Amino acid sequence: MENEKKSTIELNNEIILIENYIDSAKRKSLYGTLLITLGALGALAFAVDYFAIKWDGIAPFFKFVILASFAVVLFWGSALRANPGVKIHEPQVANSMVTTAKDGYRTVRQLEIELRRVRDEKKKKASTKETNVQERRKSYREDAAFYVEELRRESAFYRRVSNLVQAVVIVGSLVGSFAAASSFFVREYSWFVAANSLAIGIASGFAGYWKYKERSFYAQQTADLVEHEIESFDLEVGRYESGEEDSKVLTFSKEIIRLRQDQKMREQNLDQPSSGGEESKK
């Protein structure tokens, strides 16, 4: 029984580790894309402005520093995208994986496959042993708790992206207003004004299309609802005050499934283009 319990704990720890690695791989991919975009747009604006407008009054060394900065950003982003995924630092976890690492790196897709494999192994382990009501209760609660942590990480990720996009829009708008009020700045640094306006437009487009703020809000909302359901289940209050233990476990599992389905529906709705204009025409 002790070995069985230890194996379950190991599976739970492995699930948490893989989920953390998935988050790290997603952040790495996002940062690489942003750096490539920033470096490419900056270098393009620099080149257009350099050949179209003579930079009189600006030292050649300063021009070189500007171009080198964009080149470094572009190279950094390309390096992150050239090696997608992350390295697994725990040997016991890496050795148990079925996917093949490329130069020690595993992509998000590979890590998601490993996560499903470990979860299936955990479910299979629970179904093969003789489970009583308390064991099923603990198993369902653990799955719900893992789902809460997954939603909170997802919410935090989208919140960071939303804050970054909003910061680009706000700071870029302020800098653009300041630059527009200075004829010298517009004349001498027109490439920066053009790049700044382009960055604001791209950030606004990403925020409107991907709806990062809404995704963060819905993930956090569902996490709070599931956490509230877990607390009610543990304290046996609300819908869990009366009834047999089997009935309470069944009610809890049904409610968690309903909340999961609602969250998936919200995500699907966010992926759909806005139909407000079509509805107003009807």
Task: From 1, 246, 6, 13, select the one nearest 132 (Cα to Cα).
Answer: 246
Confidence (pLDDT) at 111: 94
* pLDDT tens per residue, range 48-86: 767 766 655 566 677 778 788 888 999 999 999 888 899
141/146 Cα distance (integer angstroms): 9
Where do the domains of the chain lie? 1-129, 131-272
Q: Give Cβ neighbours of residue 29 (< 8 Å, ≥ 6 apart).
A: 80, 81, 84, 108
Contact 32, 81 (CB under 8 A): yes
Residue whose token pair is 């966010």: 270
Q: Quick: pLDDT tens for 146-188.
A: 899 889 989 998 999 899 899 989 999 998 888 777 776 767 6
Cα separation, 124 vs 262, whole angstroms: 26
Close Cβ partners of 274 (under 8 Å, ≥ 6 residues apart): none
C-alpha to C-alpha distance for 282 and 276, rounded to whole angstroms: 10
Residue showing tokens 């139909």: 275
Q: How far is Cα 111 from Cα 115, in angstroms, rounded to an integer? A: 6
Query: How far is it, in rounded angstroms, from Cα 7 to Cα 98?
Result: 18
- Are 39 and 71 in contact, with CB atoms under 8 Å apart? yes
3-state helix, strand, coil in the chain (%, to 5): 85, 0, 15
Q: Is the pTM of this model over 0.85?
A: no
For residue 102, the SS3 value is strand
The alpha carbon of residue 2 and the mean position of all alpha carbons in its chain are separated, in whole angstroms, by 37
Q: Positive or negative, the Cα torsion across 243, 247, 249, 251?
A: negative
Q: Which residues pair with 102 in a beta bridge?
A: 105
pLDDT of 228 = 96
| Spatial distance between the Cα atoms of 32 and 82, rounded to a whole number of angstroms | 9
* CB hemisphere CA count around 122 (13 angstroms): 23
* CA 270 – CA 219 distance, rounded (Å): 12
pLDDT along the chain (282 residues), means of 10: 55 87 89 87 76 63 80 91 90 89 90 91 69 71 88 91 92 86 71 79 87 95 96 93 88 94 94 56 43
